[in-house]
Chains A and B, each alone.
Chain A
């Protein structure tokens, strides 16, 4: 099988020298991630180490990291032979790895800032099989990476006779590109409350970690400060909430720009290719046969801008725990229709039957989300006798009634000859569509409460997550289950 043109990849090759720098970064990053509570202690409590000791420890650790990284760079090499990728690596324990080309699912490139400066790429090799066979080249020169990829994929194609890989085929069509103005729309229409929640959780988590790292006295000081704030109370609290929302808004905007800068989407006959990101340019592929569910999310602001947040859910080679999603924010309604038509073909145009969910779902959800917090707040009101709590609890009860009522009213399960679609949500409307034949199994669940009303919940499991339909009529559920099983069992198309 061996060709004799003496290509560089047939002899043992190291990565680009830039890799040393990147390995150093990675080692430092993982050290900080694992040891940061100790670092905080060392930095803030000057009584543990004298500056001289601190400096010498820093120098020793720094040197160790550099030596480790250089050794790890020189111990790593790879070559291609007999349709296999051979990799040898490891500092303390040496490991040899052979990856046959036909096991390689995708080869993808990623570029961080350093990569862009030196014109190198990070190469990720994704295989069908256990995760220990999956690995990354920290840095390869771009031209070599391209050669490697096209060589492996061409050999693979010769073997299997089907093309399957990350390389956008020559006949790919650009269907979407986000300009900075579009990106602004995307940023504005993101869920800022979620970011606020993450920021809040981060600071609360930070408080606990500081507690562990620095000891009680610091936390007491922090709490006393918080208590002082609370004493002259409500206005400050409201100011803090506003500040939090402003920060959340700003950071979603920044994150959106970083993640989706200059996002481009292509289609080809194999699937969809997405490229984007400011400092970290990533390219991802959603291959038709791996796509399980397509999902679009709308909210009032997105509706105003005439866009949706779109997502492909793919099956991963390692199954559900690592299932991968590819996001396309700022997808216009026309692009959405285009993607749906190109992925589902004529199936999307066939007539859908729609069903709603039962009123009992509203009662159940209002009880849990509305009444239980209401009663708890009511008890708090009686014991603390704060009138503001009473107002908040009543507002909560009414608001939750409205939200849960809309939730129940708008839930839709739709099925046509080939496809299953669910539509749900109050402010953020989520639509999921999938091929019936790609479903893995169907479950019917029934609680005692549902049994009294001849209702059930239906669960459709796919290779990239489950789709649940709550509280639908038992007879309908049985019919849909029968039909879904019939479609799966009579399908001879590959579902992945």
Chain B
């Protein structure tokens, strides 16, 4: 492939290449959180469906079992996708930036340089607490689309990453 920039004293082949990154997976336990939140949603909608059936359709109507079966199929499908999606969420740190990949079919891969990070925090929901996991959030000035949120991290890992990123931000600030 021909070089990108002709008037460039730094040939692009020698740039740090992001394809050579070693990505790190998240904890497999995160799938359980997804299962539970999916199940809560499934049950809530199921209750609504049953109510509609009882009040409007009646159980003998052909639509009633169809609706329930269809919803059950969607639920099982979502569980299956959740279990795969965990393996597709991975992150990587380099000296000067952090990358996060996610998505089974529609894949996203976002990279945020440390000198553009606004702030960085660890958040923990009820379910995260139950399974001893943390979410690392990295915020930039580029709006919500450009923020990174890495779920399913061990608290120690999340803390370590946060410390590291904050140290990097401070280092970058001093340079400026």
Q: Determine if B142 is an interface residue (Cβ-Cβ < 8 Å).
A: yes
Q: Determine if B17 is an interface residue (Cβ-Cβ < 8 Å).
A: yes
Q: How many residues of B contact A (CB 8 A)?
A: 36
Q: What distance in Å separates the Cβ of A320 from its nearest Cβ neighbour in chain B?
A: 4
Q: Determine if B48 is an interface residue (Cβ-Cβ < 8 Å).
A: no
Known: A351-B6, A353-B4, A442-B110. A488 touches B115 (CB 8 A): yes
Q: A350-B7, A415-B5, A485-B16 are in contact. List 12 more A-B contacts (CB 8 A).
A: A319-B143, A353-B4, A416-B7, A439-B116, A441-B116, A443-B110, A447-B106, A461-B143, A483-B4, A483-B12, A485-B97, A488-B116
Q: What distance in Å separates the Cβ of A417 from its nearest Cβ neighbour in chain B?
A: 6
Chain B residues, CB < 8 A from A495: 116
Q: Determine if B62 is an interface residue (Cβ-Cβ < 8 Å).
A: no
* Pair A496/B141 contact, Cβ less than 8 Å: yes
Q: Determine if A489 is an interface residue (Cβ-Cβ < 8 Å).
A: yes
* Pair B110/A440 contact, Cβ less than 8 Å: no
- Name the interface residues of A220-275: CB closer than 8 Å to any CB of B: none
Select one of A417, A440, A475, A482 contacting B146, CB under 8 A: A440
Which residues from chain B sit less than 8 Å from chain A, CB to CB? Answer: 1, 4-8, 10, 12, 15-19, 96-97, 105-116, 140-146, 175-176
Write out, one digit per residue, whether chain A residues 432-474 have a CB within 8 A of any chain B CB (1) or not (0). Answer: 0000000111111111100100000001011101100000000
Chain B residues, CB < 8 A from A383: none
Query: Looking across the interface, which residue of chain B has its beta carbon closest to that of A486?
Result: B15
Q: What distance in Å separates the Cβ of A13 from its nearest Cβ neighbour in chain B?
A: 36
Inter-chain CA distance A14–B17, complex, in Å, is: 61
Q: Determine if A58 is an interface residue (Cβ-Cβ < 8 Å).
A: no
Query: How many interface residues does chain A have, given as a range?
Result: 35 or more
Inter-chain CA distance A496–B10, complex, in Å, is: 26
Q: What distance in Å separates the Cβ of A293 from its nearest Cβ neighbour in chain B?
A: 12
Select one of A315, A483, A492 contacting B176, CB under 8 A: A492
Known: A482-B12, A489-B113. A462 touches B96 (CB 8 A): no
Query: Looking across the interface, which residue of chain B has its beta carbon closest to that of A447?
Result: B106
Inter-chain CA distance A489–B144, complex, in Å, is: 21
Inter-chain CA distance A135–B62, complex, in Å, is: 62
Q: Determine if A430 is an interface residue (Cβ-Cβ < 8 Å).
A: no
Q: Determine if A148 is an interface residue (Cβ-Cβ < 8 Å).
A: no
Chain A residues, CB < 8 A from B175: 492
* Pair A491/B115 contact, Cβ less than 8 Å: yes
Which residues from chain A sit less than 8 Å from chain B, CB to CB? Answer: 315, 319-321, 350-351, 353, 415-417, 439-448, 451, 459, 461-463, 465-466, 475, 478-483, 485-486, 488-489, 491-496
Query: Looking across the interface, which residue of chain A has its beta carbon closest to that of B176?
Result: A492
Query: Looking across the interface, which residue of chain B has its beta carbon closest to that of A466?
Result: B145
Inter-chain CA distance A452–B105, complex, in Å, is: 12
Chain B residues, CB < 8 A from A478: 17-19
* Pair A463/B142 contact, Cβ less than 8 Å: yes
Select one of A440, A445, A475 contacting B141, CB under 8 A: A440
Q: What distance in Å separates the Cβ of A259 from its nearest Cβ neighbour in chain B?
A: 27
Inter-chain CA distance A315–B97, complex, in Å, is: 22
Q: What distance in Å separates the Cβ of A416 from its nearest Cβ neighbour in chain B?
A: 7
Select one of A351, A466, A480, A491 contacting B142, CB under 8 A: A466
Query: Looking across the interface, which residue of chain A has its beta carbon closest to that of B114?
Result: A489
Inter-chain CA distance A461–B111, complex, in Å, is: 10
Q: What distance in Å separates the Cβ of A353 from its nearest Cβ neighbour in chain B?
A: 6
Known: A417-B5, A496-B141. A489 touches B106 (CB 8 A): no
Inter-chain CA distance A465–B143, complex, in Å, is: 7
Select one of B6, B7, B145 contacting A459, CB under 8 A: B145
Inter-chain CA distance A481–B21, complex, in Å, is: 14
Inter-chain CA distance A417–B140, complex, in Å, is: 24
Q: What distance in Å separates the Cβ of B126 from its nearest Cβ neighbour in chain A?
A: 28
Q: What distance in Å separates the Cβ of B20 from its nearest Cβ neighbour in chain A?
A: 10
Chain A residues, CB < 8 A from B142: 320, 439-441, 461-463, 466
14 A-B pairs within 8 Å (CB atoms) are namely A351-B7, A440-B112, A441-B140, A441-B142, A443-B108, A443-B146, A461-B143, A461-B145, A481-B18, A485-B16, A489-B96, A489-B97, A489-B113, A495-B116
Chain B residues, CB < 8 A from A492: 175-176
Q: What distance in Å separates the Cβ of A92 from its nearest Cβ neighbour in chain B?
A: 35
